[in-house]
Every structure is written in C-alpha cells, then in structure tokens.
Amino acid sequence: MRFAITLVFGVALLAAGFFWANRPQLFTINAAVSADFPDNAFSHRILEMLLSNYVDASGHVDYEHWYNNGTAVADLESYLAAVSKFSPESTPERFPSRNDELAYWLYGYNAYVIRTVLSNWPLDSVTDVKAPIEAVKGLGFFYRLRYTFGGRAYSLLTIENDKIRKEYRDPRIHFLLNCGSESCPVVRPELPTGAALELLLAESARDFINKPANVHIDHDEQTIYLSAIFEWYEDDYLNWLRANGRPLDRGLVDYIAAFAEGKLADDLENATDYAIEFHEFDWSINASSAL
C-alpha cells in the first residue's frame, strides 16, 4: 500500500512538473488596428495584400524577404491586432454569415502561423519551436503558445479542433489550414468571404487531392498512397460522407473520389481492394524555393 501511494504521488509530481514547465505562453501582438479598418465588418484586405506579395505561384512563403521588410511585418501585426480585438464571439455583428465566421477562423489561424514563423526566423521547421518538455512533436508551436482571437487566448490546436472542426464539420478546411510545413496545403493569397468561400473550399479540396504528392496510386503494388492528413482526420471525411448520404464502402477512397479528376478518377475506378498507406508528414518549413 505504501509503495502504491508513493508511486501515485510521484506520478502526480511528474505530471504537475510537466504542466508547470509547459504552462501557456501568450503570443503578444504589439500593434493597433488600422485606422481605416471597417466599423461594422471584418476586413482581410491587409493579409490578402501581404500574401499576394510574399506567396509564390507554388503556394510557398517568402519568409526571408517578409522578415526583412519591417513595414510588411508591421502590416501583418496590424491585421492580427484586428483578429485579437474582434471575433464572431466578441463582435458577431461584424460577421453577417456563417462563411464570414469560418473565414475569420481560417485566415486568422494561418496569419498567426506565419507571424510565429517570422518571429523565429530563420526556422527549419515549426517543430523547432519547442515547449520546455516536448512530449509530442509540435507541442510548443501548436499547443503551448496562445493567440488572442477576439479578446480570448487560444492555442492553434484549440482553434482547429474546437472553433473550426467541431463547429463547421466541413473536412475541406483541412485543405486550407496551413501549418507552415511542406506537407500542409499550400498558402493561398485569395481570401474570399461569404458565399465565395464555398468556391475556395471546393477548389482547395480538388487541388490538394489531385496533387500526386497527396494522393498517388501504384497499380503494380496495388496500393493507394495518401497524405498523412487523411489519416489524422479520417473521421472527419467519413462523417461527412455519412451526413451527406454518400457511399461509404471504400472509406477514405469514397471521399477522395468525390474530388478526383482526370487520370486520378480513372485510376481510382481501377483500384478496387487496394491497400492504403500514408506518407510520412514533412515538417520542413514551407519557405519559397527562391530563397
């Protein structure tokens, strides 16, 4: 009994030490909202302008030049000051539709990822931003750091899981959220809101799924190779199929087939009973190759 009590006490101390060492760290935005920011809406114009200047045709980010341009960094801070002050929770009148709300969470998430990379530049991987006790890869970047959205502090993990996945239940968001890594979806300069967001979600899903690096079929090996994103969020894709009355006989393949085009669509038709394997996720930074 004494040994059991000692063991429990020791485990409790270790757990307490872990959580104390990894206590949340607030990422501070030292800027004011732009003077010309709308009074009754939420504008992504500043971020859209910055992305058009610093994202190349392949969807990679030119962090080096962005980092070295103090005005551009300040402009990003100004956009994030608005994200920090307003949100669908704190100022719902600024977000007239559900898609406007979703756009806020998606674009705010991506903007904070970029700002954190710039704050730690040069950086080989977001996983290099570590917690004091990095028990899980990415713990420091995606969980320990806290970011302000509408006056409340959240981790990126909470934004993704609670504010986006749980609330909107649209797995296409996984093709727009960018984690600053090579295996993530590309960064897109266009930031539509309202009804136009639907077009971007559909386009992002088609582009991601029809890119061979994310979905590849080897007929000789009778194997379908998929991005690790499909493994991590498999339930999201399968639940979407169920909710929309879609076939579910082939699991993830049925979801992918809904967006497959051309050769991939044909290959999927001939890939009956193939095994599925997932690529190892590439966490290297999604920096422009021009650097």
CA distances (Å), origin 206, targets 58, 71, 124: 15, 35, 29
Give me the helix-helix angle, 196-209 and 98-119, nearest 10°.
Answer: 60
Gap between the Cα atoms of 170 and 200, Å rounded: 13
DSSP one-letter code for 128: G
Over the Cα atoms of the chain, what is R_g? 21
Each residue's pLDDT expressed in tens, for the chain with a length of 291 residues = 665 555 444 434 444 444 446 689 999 999 999 999 999 999 999 999 999 999 999 999 999 999 999 999 999 999 999 999 999 999 999 999 999 999 999 999 999 999 999 999 999 999 999 988 888 889 999 999 999 999 999 999 999 999 999 999 999 999 999 999 999 999 999 999 999 999 999 999 999 999 999 999 999 999 999 999 999 999 999 999 999 999 999 999 999 999 999 999 999 999 999 999 999 999 999 999 744
pLDDT value at residue 2: 63
